[in-house]
Amino acid sequence: MSTPPAADPISALRQDHTGQTGRALEILSTVFGYDAFRGDQAEIIEQVASGGDAVVLMPTGGGKSLCFQIPSLLRAGTGIVVSPLIALMADQVAALEGVGIRAAYLNSTLDLDQARAVEQQLLAGELDLLYMAPERLVLPRTQELLGRARLALFAIDEAHCVSQWGHDFRPDYLGLSVLAERFPEVPRIALTATATEATHRELTERLRMQEAEHFVSSFDRPNIQYRIEPKASPREQLLKLITTEHEGESGIVYCLSRKSVEQTADALVARGIPALPYHAGLDAAVRQDHQERFLRADGLIIVATIAFGMGIDKPDVRFVAHLDLPKSIEGYYQETGRAGRDGQPSTAWMAYGLGDVVSQRRFIDTGEGSELFKRNARSHLDAMLALCETVSCRRVQLLRYFGQDSQPCGNCDTCLSPPQTWDATVASQKLLSALIRLDRERGQKFGSGQVIEVLLGRENQRSTQSRHDELSVWGIGEELSEKEWRTVVRQLLARGIIEAEGDYGVLVPGPQAAPVLRSETTVELAVDRTPQRAARGGGRRAAGASRAAESLEPAQRERFEALRTWRTSVAKEKQIPPYMVFSDATLVGIVDAAPVSVAELGAVSGVGAKKLAEYGEAVLEALPGAPVS
């Protein structure tokens, strides 16, 4: 066997005096185990390492972290990473330490002695990266401490949180503008995976980064298949998705309420599917335990409210499912972006129905906040509804929201199974007429259920008491079924032709109703598609099998599974997530390369010098049999 490299490969790089670009590539290869930069990474690193500011918009899984980690190694001093993710800082630091980077965090989970020890490391120049939350950074004491340290840069992660009209506003981020004044010589890099053009402008202004270079990558995630289907029995639909497409794989399921989270997690467990709940109502220790178990286990599903997920960098999340409608496209994009960070095929699936539209509009109308705030929330919701109801490519619609053009993707439900449309102008007029007649002639407003009963001419207690059968609109909609009428109502709500108002979600004509009633516009609606599994090829995998290994031959898969078993044992021993040892993609690379020496193993993408020194011999011993050609 070849002799492994020195245990601290970064120390030599810190003394390297070759060109900056060459050093950056050397760090990429030696520390992180990759041969080449992706997209704008090289240009961003050059900008920040040379002392300039940068605003970076890059999709989840696009490699944002390298854009501040490598400049922190290239520049003298410590890189300060501002992050709202206190619960994940320990894992982020562990991942950096795993590749030989000197990292620490300073947050409320440390006791006084631990915090002082980290501060001394900072002042002694013994840290490459230091993570802290924005509320700590803006404290006068923290700024005084930083003023005595040598700083390489400030990295403001999740920078969209500074936008008051974005989907994830954090008030503490507003104080970060002080960095421009307090530390004018220290370069800053603001990064986010979720920003419209308006949010981009706002974060630039609020962080005082007007002079920064801006790097905007495509937000496209081609490995994610976007699918939205009519909500019938959502938990059964979810169960079908898991058992037919993602059995034994990790996933995230989002629900709107804590009660729904608990019930859905219980329903999955009752069917033999390992699942854990996560929401703000759980004890903090329980939430932390469930999050850590999700990060460390293979094939575990977390069922959560939106309280879960920001900063989760588990690479092998194979699906993200929504059982309720997200409030905005920004939220939807960020949540679905947690799938497939390793670049392997993944699913973003949603069950969406009429009740989602009514409840979300009622939540906005009856909630707190100014009229300006509510108008902004309605705008976000309208864009989300348009995505759900589109009859064209969902990816095109999604990217257009972020100001980016694209072509039909061929990998979303509307591309794979184009929806049928029909001329629903007359049906829309009948529905609007029913609303108007009920209001004018009976002084009544109803939710969708009773309105549909009137259209179908069905007698019930309400109809009998109010003599609805005497109305001219009684039974005029018998050509459609109840299910079809619900589809019509849902789509007309999404288009603003009708609206749901008040605590009970009663239907009224919307701002777009008049042209429809006057036949000045044609209403084309989609026929609800029958839910079906989208084709992926390769057939159904055995439970627990990795999607990354689908391309391997049977003999190679045996070697891959042997490496996964070894990786699991190492991760348990070190109490870290398995992907911090090696990702599935790296394990596949090892199997493909069939190395017979440590030197050959070092050429595999994702195998950096420190991991090679630490795991090289063990990996070769874990590979069963002779190399596969």
Instruction: Kindly state the average pLDDT of the residues 531-535.
Output: 50
Do residue 280 and residue 187 come from a single domain? no
CATH of the domain at 437: 1.10.10.10
DSSP summary character for residue 217: -
> What is the domain extent for residue 574?
549-622
Q: Give the model's confidence band at 165: pLDDT under 50 very low, under 70 low, under 90 confident, else very high.
A: low
**Residue 539 forms part of a structural domain:** no
What is the greatest pairwise CA distance in the chain? 93
What is the structure's pLDDT at 628? 43
Say which residue the tokens 């109803």 belong to.
446
C-alpha span between 313 and 302 (Å, rounded): 14
Residue 534 lies in a domain: no
CB neighbours (10 Å) of residue 519? Answer: 10
Asked if 340 and 224 touch (Cβ cutoff 8 Å), the reply is yes
In sequence order, what are the beta bridge partners of 509?
498
Q: Could you report the per-residue pLDDT of 534-564, keeping only the tens digit for each?
A: 444 433 444 445 666 667 888 888 899 999 9
Residue 232 lies in a domain: yes
111 and 206 belong to one structural domain? yes
**CA end-to-end distance (rounded Å), the chain:** 20
Structure confidence at residue 62 (pLDDT): 84
Residue 13 is predicted with a pLDDT of: 57
- Give residue 540's pLDDT: 43
pLDDT value at residue 73: 95
| CATH number, position 614 | 1.10.150.80
411 with 434, same domain: the answer is: no
Burial bucket for residue 130 (CB in 10 Å: 0-12, 13-18, 19+): buried
Distance CA 395, CA 413 (A): 10
What pLDDT, on a 0 to 100 scale, did the predictor assign at position 489? 92
> Does the pLDDT value for residue 629 go beyond 50?
no
Span 49-74, pLDDT tens digits: 999 999 999 988 888 999 999 999 99
Q: Give residues with Cβ within 8 angstroms of 463, minimum separation 6.
A: 450, 453, 454, 469
Name which of 341, 330, 263 is nearest 577 in CA terms.
Answer: 341
Structural domains in the chain (count): 4
Residue 543's pLDDT is: 46
Position 327 pLDDT exceeds 50: yes
Could you tell me if 398 and 427 lie in one domain?
Answer: no
Q: Are residues 148 and 263 in the same domain?
A: no
- Tell whether 404 is covered by a domain: yes
Task: Pick the last residue of a domain from 161, 186, 216.
Answer: 216
Task: Give a yes or no: residue 59 inside a domain.
Answer: yes
Among the listed residues 556, 623, 227, 168, the one whose alpha carbon sits nearest the alpha carbon of residue 412: 227
Regarding whether 282 and 268 lie in a shared domain, the answer is: yes
CA distance 581 to 573: 11
Count of helix runs (H) and strand runs (E) in the chain: 27, 17
Q: 621: buried, middle or exposed (CB in 10 Å: 19+, 13-18, 0-12)?
A: exposed
How many other CB atoms are there within 10 angstroms of residue 491's CB atom? 23
Q: Which residue has the tokens 């979720």?
A: 194
Inform me whether the pLDDT recorded for 216 exceeds 70. yes
Kindly list the distances between the CA atom of residue 521 and the CA atoms of 423, 512, 513, 515, 516, in Å, as whole numbers in the listed order.
11, 10, 10, 6, 6
482 & 407 share domain:
no
SS3 content of the chain, % helix, strand, coil (to 5): 45, 15, 40
Q: Whole-angstrom Cα distance, residue 247 to residue 252?
A: 13
Give me the half-sphere count of Cα atoms (radius 13 Å) on the Cβ side of residue 196.
19
| pLDDT tens-digit readout, 382-436 | 889 989 989 899 999 999 999 899 999 999 999 999 989 999 999 999 999 999 9
Q: What is the rounded CA–CA span in Å between residue 355 and residue 153?
A: 48
Top mean pLDDT of 351-355, 364-368, 454-458 is at 454-458
Q: Which amino acid, residue 342?
A: D
Q: What pLDDT does residue 88 have?
A: 81
| Tokens found for residue 201 | 């402008």
Residue 70: half-sphere exposure toward Cβ, Cα within 13 Å: 31
Query: Which one-letter amino acid corresponds to residue 409?
Result: C
Q: Strands 498-501, 506-509: parallel, antiparallel or unpaired by DSSP?
A: antiparallel
Ranked by mean pLDDT, which of 181-190, 397-406, 455-464 comes out on top? 181-190
Could you tell me where the DSSP H helices lie in 31-75?
Answer: 41-49, 66-74
Q: Tell whether 5 is covered by a domain.
A: no
**Domain boundary pick from 194, 216, 238:** 216
| 13-17, 70-74, 377-381, 483-487: least confidently modelled range | 13-17
Question: Does residue 499 fall inside a structural domain?
Answer: yes
**Token output for 480:** 């459609």
Least confident segment among 31-45, 197-211, 297-311, 504-518: 297-311
Tens of pLDDT, residue by residue over 493-504, are: 888 899 888 777
Q: Which of 526, 558, 576 is the last residue of a domain?
A: 526
* Average of per-residue pLDDT across 291-303: 91
Determine whether 462 is exposed, middle or buried from the number of CB atoms within 10 Å of its CB (0-12, 13-18, 19+): middle
pLDDT above 80: residue 375: yes
> Does 425 share its domain with 333?
no
Q: What is the pLDDT of residue 87?
A: 76
Measure the CA–CA gap between 74 and 31, rounded to whole angstroms.
12
The strand pair at 524-526 and 421-423 is best described as: antiparallel
Q: Could you tell me if 445 and 511 lie in one domain?
A: yes
- Tell whether 135 and 271 lie within a shared domain: no
Q: What is the mean pLDDT of the chain?
A: 88
Give the pLDDT score at 425: 94
Instruction: Please report whether residue 364 resides in a domain.
Output: no
Q: How confident is the model at residue 12 (pLDDT cuts 50, 70, 90)?
A: low
Asked if residue 128 has pLDDT above 90, the reply is yes
Q: Find the range with the poorest average confidence among 156-165, 250-259, 452-461.
A: 156-165
Please enumerate in sequence order all residues whose Cβ is within 8 A of that of 44, keeping only pairs 6 or more positions apart, or say none: 54, 56, 67, 189, 215
pLDDT of 19 reads: 60
Which pLDDT does position 587 carry in this prediction? 92
Q: Domain check: are 191 and 325 in the same one?
A: no
Same structural domain, 166 and 272: no
| CATH code of the domain containing 85 | 3.40.50.300
- What average pLDDT does the segment 221-231 reach? 94
**Nearest 5°: phi and psi at 477?**
-115, 30
Looking at residue 538, its pLDDT comes to: 38
587, burial (CB in 10 Å: exposed 0-12, middle 13-18, buried 19+): buried
